[in-house]
Structure formats: C-alpha cells, structure tokens
Chains A and B, each alone.
Chain A
Amino acid sequence: MSSELFTRVAQLVAPLSPELCLLLAALCALMTDMVGQRSVRRIRMVVWVASLAAVFCSLALMTGPLPISLFSRQPAPELELTPSSYIVDSLALSLKALIGLLTALAVWLSEDAFDEERSNAGEYYSLIAFAGLGMTVAVSANEFLTFFIAFELFSIPLYALAAIRRYRSESAEAGLKYFLAGSVSSALMLFGISWVYGSLGTTYFSEFPARFTQVASMPHALLVGVLMILAGLAFKMAAAPFHMWAPDVYEGAPPTVVAYLSSAPKAVIIGFCLRLFWADLDLESDLLRVSLADGWMLVFAVLSLLSMGLGNLMALPQVSLKRILAYSGIAQIGYLLIGVTAAGGQTATMAAGATLFYLWIYCVTNLTSWAALLACLPSDSTYQRGELAGLAQRNPFVAFVLLISFMSLAGVPPLAGFVGKFYLFRAIYAAGMPWLVVVGVVNSVISLYYYFGVLRTAYFDPPLPDSPPIRVKLGVRVVLVIGTAASLILGLWPGFALWSLETAQTLFVGR
C-alpha cells in the first residue's frame, strides 16, 4: 500500500520537477521573508538557484521519453488516446527552459533594485517565483481548466509586481491599468472557453477532434468562443488592436518588472496558440480550421499585420525609451504571429520550429535591452532618449550591449534577430503567403529608423555636462554578457543557429 503510494508520487515528481523547483522557491522565499527582514540576499539566491534548476530539469527531461501525460482521466469510448489535463512534451519543456532562464535573468537584474524601498524585497522575489511557476504550468496545460488556473497564477503576481512600488503614483497607476486590461482579457477568454466547452462538451484538448462531428449543431457558438479566446490571448500579449495598455504600463511599472513581464508571458501565449489552435500540427483536426473553415490563417495574419504596422509606426515619434521599447514589443509580437500563421499551413513543423527559435531570441534580447537601459540610467530617470547622450564615451560596454541588442531586434544581418526573422519569413513564404513577407521586410526597414535614432544619441551626441558616472552592478553585468553573447553567437555562427533551429523543429515531430 505505502510502496504503491510512493511509486505514484515518484512518477508524478520527476516530470513536474521544473514546476516543483519554482514552487519550493516561492514558498521558501515567503517563509524566509516571514522570519526576518534582513535576509534579502538569501531569498534572491534561493529564487535564482531554483529557476536555473528549473532550466536544467527541463533540459534533462527533454532527453528522456516524451511526451509524458499526467493526470489522465478515464477515456471516452470513441477515443484512442487517454485524455490528460497535463502534458510534458518537448514544446512545453523548451518553453519551460526559456521561462526559467528569463526568471533567473530577472532576478539577477533586480539586485539592489528594491533594497532601498519600503516595499518588501521578499515579497518581490516570491511573486516573481510564483509568476514563473504559473507560466511553467501554463505551457504544459492540455485542458482549459488547467490552463485557466495557470494563466491566473502568473497574471495575478504580475499585476502585483507592476504596482510594487506602491508609494510612487506612477507604479500604482501602471498596476491599475495592467490589472484592468488583464482582467478584462481573462473574462473575455473565460467567456469564450465556456462557449467552446458548451459546443464541444469537453475541456480536454485531445478530445476536441473526436467531438468536431457534433459541432454541426452549433457552429456559430464554437466560432464565437474561439474568437473570444483569441481576443483574450491577444490582449495578454499586447497584439494590436488589443495593445493600448502596453505603453502606459511599461512606462509606469518598475523597469526590472517590465523586463520580465514584457518577455515571459509572450512566450507562454505564443506557445499556447501553437498548442491550442494547431493542436496536432496536422491539417485536419485543429480548432480554428474547424470553426472558421477558410478564414483560419487570415485571422492570425491580420493580427500580425496590425501589430507590426501599428507598433512600428507608433514607435517612430516617441522620445521616451520605455515607450519605444513598448511599441517595438508590439511590433515584435507581429513577427512572432507570422510564425504562428505559418504553423497553420502545409509546412507546419518548419514554421513552429522557426517561431520557437525566434521566441527564444526575442525574449532574451528584449530582456537584455531593458537591462542595458537599467544599467546606464539612474533609478529616478524618466527614460528620455536624450539621457543616453554620450553613452559610448561614458561606458563603452553598456553602449556596445545596447548596440548589439537593438540591432538584433531590428534584424540587422550578422545578428541573431536577423537569422530568426529570416527563418520566419521563409516559413510564411512556404506556407503560401508571400505578401506577409513583403509586409514584414518593409516593417523591419521602418523599425531601423527608431532603433538607430536611439543608437545615434548614444554614440554621436556629446555627453551632458553633469552626467553621473555609470556603475554597473554585478547581477546586471551577468545579464548583459549572457544576452549579448546569445545575440552574437546565434548570428555569427550559422552552424550553431542551424543546429538550434533543427532542434526546435524536431521538437514538433516527436509529439
């Protein structure tokens, strides 16, 4: 009896190890915070060790037999597969590794950022760990209820994190705006889920294909449900036309928090789109194709088009660095959605691999550019572009990092961003939408203008007479080195880039 229990527990623990690492870290952080106020260093250490452990656990699990289904329920008679609410497959594991890495980088970035505040540092790190936990669960969810709980588990800590400088009015306002946009998006998504559940009679993704035959009775109900889910997801990843909250939130929330919340949730949502809408990456039985017949790829294509166009055009007149990065993030979601669109076409595996590859590049580069700004601007800075004047003379290292990450975001040839975009465009071309390639290239050219505007200020403008000296903290320096190295290696060493892309593609074959 007890040995049987032990085996069951052991079978559960191994595939769940990345999640458990983060859960334990979050609880440890809470308890340490409870016991004493002066142990901020220890709390930080616990959280970053745990998030790195989550990265290693995910990578280790990837070498084993996959996919692993957990929490299965009794199969329905018409099904071959046992429906399970939790699936540990290569898509989930690679995203978990990315999320763990982003969490660790965010923790390094936050060194000393909150020590001088009355807001408690312990709370801050445990909220980050809880958000990471929610995200790692969300990418494995194979059922709507599980996904919804996980979605809220990472959303709610992020609302609190955006408002964590609660004695500053701009942080509280950013928290309020993020909360309102986020809750409306959750409610929309939830309403859509209830309609999908009503018309298909199940919340298990793996049961959907078998249930599509009964959709004939309520095709519009399913369509409404799917579109509302999509709207909720688009809100959350700030894809146009649901992007309005992003610039305000990015401007008001503490920059360390923005570095995290502008990258990691996007990874979750893009991964979830791949899982839900192009479920098996085969061409017959996915959710959107059944509910939308011929228009299915167009929905994503339009979202992508609007995000790229609006994001890049709105970024042009901005002078606030935070707003430039916010609009550039909206545009980057557009590029990622190109990949999601292509994943619905004939060359699904190639497209999904390219999306995952670009997701890694974008998330790390985005976090690095926030880290570079955080490193060179004082903590009471308003992040105006002019404050970067003469950065190349004041601190050549940070200026170089900024150069590399902005050029990578813009997609300038020898860097990782270029390689990633190239594969995305190739995928959408193969999927039969060459006009989206044209749109993407034109947008990249537009984006060069504002990225280079910032770099020109940093490199060619003389430094302001009373600029304070720049001292980069160790944690931030680690983030800068890792991010720059990633951009350079993936760009300059095509063999490595090709190898990672092929790995990303094979992730989808074995599922």
Chain B
Amino acid sequence: MEYAYVALFLLGGLAFVGATLTLNRFVTSPHRPSASKLLAYECGEPPIGEAWVQYNARYYLFAMMFVLFDVEAAFVIPWAVGFKTMSLDLGILPLLEMLIFLSLLALALVYAWRKGALEWV
C-alpha cells in the first residue's frame, strides 16, 4: 500500500506540469515568429554552429580526475558514520587507517599535479 503515495506523487507532478504548460498558452502572447524577432537581442552574440559540438578532449582529463577522487568519498562516509563505535574498540587504529588512505590519495593528486594533468594547456 505504501507505493500508493508514490503513484499519487507521480500523478500530482504530471498534473502540475500539464496545467502550467496549458496555462501558458492562454496567458502569453500569440506565437508568430519572424526573422527580426529571432535575432539575438542588442548585446547578444549571433550563434556559431550547433550546440551538439564535441567537447574539447582536455575536459575529459578533468572529468576523469574528478570521477576518481569523487568516488573515494564512498569510503570516507561509512568510516565517518562508524567512527565512534570503531574507536571505542580499536583506539587510534581507525584514524590511522583513514590517514594512510587519504595520504595515498593525496600522493596520487600530487603526482597528477606534478605530471601536469591539472594544467590548462
């Protein structure tokens, strides 16, 4: 039965979006495009090419670095949640382990930095 709420939310959301879009037809002015209307307004730039361009390969490097370091947070969060219980049993060990882990990560970051992976060439 608890899934009824989900369905309710779904219906409510769809109804709201549909209603706003329909309302839009009545409130705004009639849609009659012409060449001069479609021009960029005053200080805007006329567009060059399409939006579906290939991104520069340099972005991939940053994206890859981001993904790697981002995912490591998956280990830190459970550690932080369980830290209190762990340190009652094991004393300083959990802290040391996380420090080793983070220093390895830091080493990797410094390596990437020294190798110029963070430069914008």
Contacts and interface: CB of A to CB of B under 8 A. Distances in A.
Q: Do chains A and B touch in the complex (CB under 8 A)?
A: yes
Interface stretch (B30-38, B73-81, B107-115): B107-115
B110 A34 contact: yes
Chain B contact residues: over half helix, strand or loop, or mixed?
Answer: helix
Given A27-B107, A30-B107, A1 B91 contact: yes
Chain A: number of interface residues, binned into ranges:
under 10
B111 A30 contact: yes
Interface string B78-121: 00000000000001110000000000000100110011000000
Interface in A1-49: 1, 5, 27, 30-31, 33-34
A456 to B, nearest CB: 48
Interface string A237-254: 000000000000000000
Interface string A219-230: 000000000000
Given A1-B91, A34-B110, 11 more contacts: A5-B91, A5-B92, A5-B93, A27-B107, A30-B107, A30-B111, A31-B107, A33-B111, A34-B111, A34-B114, A34-B115
B115 to A, nearest CB: 7
A5 B94 CA distance: 12
Contacts of A27: 107
Nearest to A120: B115
Contacts of A33: 111
Interface of A: 1, 5, 27, 30-31, 33-34
Q: Which 5 A-B pairs have the closest CB atoms?
A: A34-B114, A34-B111, A30-B111, A1-B91, A34-B110
B35 to A, nearest CB: 48
Contacts of A5: 91-93
Contacts of B93: 5
Contacts of B110: 34
13 contacts: A1-B91, A5-B91, A5-B92, A5-B93, A27-B107, A30-B107, A30-B111, A31-B107, A33-B111, A34-B110, A34-B111, A34-B114, A34-B115
Interface in B14-62: none
A33 B111 CA distance: 9
Contacts of B111: 30, 33-34
Contacts of A34: 110-111, 114-115
A1 B91 CA distance: 9
Contacts of B115: 34
A30 B107 CA distance: 9
A31 B107 CA distance: 8
A34 B115 CA distance: 7
A30 B108 CA distance: 9
Nearest to A34: B114
Nearest to B92: A5
A376 B92 CA distance: 57
B99 to A, nearest CB: 14
A33 B116 CA distance: 13
A345 to B, nearest CB: 44
Contacts of A31: 107
Nearest to B110: A34
Contacts of A1: 91
Contacts of A30: 107, 111
Nearest to A30: B111
A33 B115 CA distance: 9
Nearest to B93: A5
Nearest to B91: A1
Nearest to A35: B114
A31 B108 CA distance: 10
Contacts of B91: 1, 5
A31 B110 CA distance: 10
A346 B115 CA distance: 56
B54 to A, nearest CB: 19
B17 to A, nearest CB: 37
A273 B50 CA distance: 54
Nearest to A8: B93
A34 B111 CA distance: 6
A209 B107 CA distance: 42
A34 B110 CA distance: 9
A5 B92 CA distance: 9
Nearest to B114: A34
A149 to B, nearest CB: 12
A394 B19 CA distance: 87
A27 B107 CA distance: 9
A34 B112 CA distance: 9
A117 to B, nearest CB: 15
A30 to B, nearest CB: 6
Nearest to A126: B111
B85 to A, nearest CB: 15
A82 B80 CA distance: 28
A31 B91 CA distance: 31
Nearest to B112: A34
B15 to A, nearest CB: 40
A291 B61 CA distance: 45
Nearest to A123: B115
B111 to A, nearest CB: 6
A133 B51 CA distance: 46
A458 B106 CA distance: 52
A33 B114 CA distance: 9
A326 to B, nearest CB: 31
Contacts of B92: 5
Contacts of B114: 34
A220 B114 CA distance: 52
A285 B96 CA distance: 40
A27 B111 CA distance: 11
A31 B115 CA distance: 11
A27 B115 CA distance: 15
